[in-house]
Amino acid sequence: MSAIVELTGVDKEYPLGKLVVKALQGVDLRIERGEFTVIAGPSGSGKTTLLNLVGCVDVATRGKVVVAERSTGELGDGELTALRLHHLGFIFQTFNLISVLDVYQNIEFPLLLQGKLGKQERQERVMGLIEQVQLGAQVHQRPNELSGGQRQRVAIARALVTRPSIVLADEPTANLDSATGEAILGLMRELNAREETTFIFSTHDQRVMEHARRIVKLRDGRIEDAG
């Protein structure tokens, strides 16, 4: 099995006013293809920062981050964007749906950006995912007409529509009630099992961790337990 994500000696620092915050220090992490990994830790432990680096929306201050066999530190904005588009899927804590597009359009969006599939194929794939996330009745509703759980299901479908090798989810259940959260997690497990997609979560929710195969514990920017 090859590593899909590999971090070696990664530091990440942020300027905050005149201070420098060390968000990650000396992180080494290797995640294999098809893993269902949870990054756990209290607030401010560096979960999101780690996820940002893996998600190629940010680059490390020091060290090496390799995602899908590409070293992100050496890539420009355009290449990073392409990497995200073709290899990564995102599920955000606040869902981050495009408010002016309806459910179908939101899910279709990354496919359109890719521009690889014809209309027919796109429709098949999007409708298939809509079935899976059980939003058949809301296809043409706009995000503001949906409940939190429904929105997150749209986000999951959107993250999966390009069949990415990695799906990143930043506290996906934080804004959901527990029952909905459970359902969403169940759905993700199911997808992970079926599609062999690598899932990486960040959370500090105990129930989420129970679903995980591997739990990486972070504290104060360092890996406490690589699971």
Partner 1 sequence: MGHLGMLLRIALTSLVSHKVKSLIVGAIMIFGTLLVVLGTSLLDSVERSMEESVTSSLAGHLQIHAASAKDKLELFGGMGGPNADIGTIQRFEALRGAVSEVENVEAVVPMGLGVGVSNTDGELDTALKALRKAVRAEDAGARAVLEERVRQILALYREEVSHKLEVQADTARVEEERAQLEEALSPAFWSRFEADPLAGLEFLDTKVAPSFGGGRALYLRYLGTDIPLFADTFDRFEVVKGAAVAPGQRGFMIADRTYERQVKHRVAMEFDEVHRAVTEAGRQIAGDAILEFRVERMVKQYRRVLFQLQPADAAALEDALRRELPDVAGGLPELLQAFLRVDDATVVARYAFFYREIAPKIRLYDVQVGDVITLTSFTRTGYVRSVNVRFTGTFTFRGLESADLAGVTNLVDLVTFRQLYGAQTDAQREELATLREEVSAANVDRAGAEDALFGGDDAVEEAAPDGAAQAQLDAVRGGELEVESVGDVDAPFAPEEVQQGLVLNAAVVLKDPSRLEETRAAVQAAAARSGLEVKVLDWQESSGLVGQFVLVVRLVLWVAIGIIFTVALVIINNSMVMATMERTAEIGTMRALGAQRGFVVALFLVETVALGLLAGAVGGGLGVGLVAWMGSAGIPASNEVLVFLFGGPRLYPSVGWENVGLAVGIILGVSLVSTLYPAVLAARIQPVVAMQSR
Q: To the nearest whole angstrom, how small is the minimum distance from the Cβ of residue 190 to partner 1? A: 23
Closer residue to partner 1 (CB): 198 or 202:
202
Q: Which is nearer to partner 1, 32 or 127 (CB)?
A: 127
Report the interface residues with partner 1, using CB under 8 A: 48, 51-52, 55, 57-58, 77-78, 81-82, 84-86, 88, 90, 92-94, 96-101, 105, 109-115, 119, 122, 158, 162, 170-171, 174
How far apart are alpha carbons 88 and 68 in whole angstroms?
A: 9
To the nearest whole angstrom, how small is the minimum distance from the Cβ of residue 18 to partner 1? 21
CA dihedral 166, 197, 121, 79 (to 10 degrees): 20
- Are 162 and 115 a contacting pair, CB within 8 Å? no
CB of 39 to partner 1, least distance (A): 13
Nearer to partner 1 (CB atom), residue 22 or residue 86: 86
At closest approach, how far in Å is the CB of 200 from partner 1?
Answer: 13
CB nearer partner 1, residue 82 or residue 187: 82
